[in-house]
Amino acid sequence: MARKLKLRIWRGDSTNGALQDVVVDANEGEVVLDVIHRVQATQMGDLAVRWNCKAGKCGSCSMEINGKPRLACMTQVSAYGDDETITVTPLRAFPVIKDLVTDVSFNYRKAMEIPSYSHPANLKPGEARMEQIDVERSQEFRKCIECFLCQDTCHVIRDHEENKKSFAGPRFFIRIAELDMHPLDTLKNRKKTAQEEHGLGMCNITKCCTEVCPEHIRITDNAIIPMKERVVDEKYDPVRWLGSKIRKREGIV
């Protein structure tokens, strides 16, 4: 049942590093994180890897597997051919700390820059009434597990360190969209600030973020494009801001 798997792991730190080849047993049904753990327990006791829930719910074990941003806990070894070498490398858009672990503090700094939810002053706890259909739009974005794969894959920052200062990235565009579409949020102009302060305009909707999202959030279609469109609309028609609060915008492709 067990097979010998060829694994190539990037090992190193911020100063230097290299790919190292190992051969490790892989059993039926195992995911890449399982075999990395086996390498850790049997061959490289100090191999650094972040992980937590091992069920695709916490978004910790983000890495690049054969060059694609993925969660190691949700990537089946059987998806790769018997003779294929699986190469695991750290997220490229963020500085390496050690081996497969990167410094993702960029994302926490960006989170701090997004204005928080603002509850209606006159609405007491327990008094909120919302339609299911209205909360579902924001709920889609609140499924985000903050794995930051979308941030990693986004070419605006992946290849352009200099853009990081002015670009919040897909994860935070859906955060802004979530608040913008929140039926109760009272802060206005979220789309405008997304455009002017968080770099929404730099996104040229290549949908790379949507493709890598393990939660299948339609980042581009349901968050980025509607915000981009309305930034333009609102200059002419402020009434549409109200409309955006009331009903779900259906299937923009």
Q: List residues near another protein by CB under 8 A.
A: 13, 27-31, 34, 40-41, 45-60, 74, 76, 97-99, 101, 104, 108, 111-112, 115-117, 119, 123, 125-126, 128-132, 135, 138-139, 142-146, 179, 182, 185
Are residues 13 and 98 in contact, defined by beta-carbon separation less than 8 angstroms?
yes
For residue 191, the minimal CB distance to another protein (Å) is 18
3-state helix, strand, coil in the chain (%, to 5): 40, 15, 40
Strand, coil or helix: 150: helix
For residue 31, the minimal CB distance to another protein (Å) is 6
Neighbours of 215 (CB within 10 A): 17
Instruction: Kindly tell me which of 130 and 232 has the beta carbon lying closer to another protein.
Output: 130
For residue 59, the minimal CB distance to another protein (Å) is 7
For residue 57, the minimal CB distance to another protein (Å) is 5
Instruction: Kindly tell me which of 31 and 228 has the beta carbon lying closer to another protein.
Output: 31
Instruction: Kindly tell me which of 72 and 228 has the beta carbon lying closer to another protein.
Output: 72
48-73: string of b/e by CB count within 10 Å (b at 16+)?
ebbbeebebebbbbbbbbbeebbbbb
173-209: string of b/e by CB count within 10 Å (b at 16+)?
bbbbbbbbbbebbeeeebbbbbbeebbbebbeeeebb
For residue 244, the minimal CB distance to another protein (Å) is 16
Instruction: Kindly tell me which of 138 and 195 has the beta carbon lying closer to another protein.
Output: 138
Length of the chain in terms of residues written: 253
Are residues 244 and 230 in contact, defined by beta-carbon separation less than 8 angstroms?
yes
For residue 204, the minimal CB distance to another protein (Å) is 28
Instruction: Kindly tell me which of 126 and 239 has the beta carbon lying closer to another protein.
Output: 126
Nearest-angstrom CA–CA distance, 238 and 181: 15
Q: For residue 251, give Cα distances in angstroms to 123, 218, 222, 248.
A: 32, 10, 8, 9
Are residues 63 and 7 in contact, defined by beta-carbon separation less than 8 angstroms?
no
Instruction: Kindly tell me which of 109 and 160 has the beta carbon lying closer to another protein.
Output: 109
Are residues 110 and 172 in contact, defined by beta-carbon separation less than 8 angstroms?
yes
For residue 18, the minimal CB distance to another protein (Å) is 16
Instruction: Kindly tell me which of 222 and 228 has the beta carbon lying closer to another protein.
Output: 222
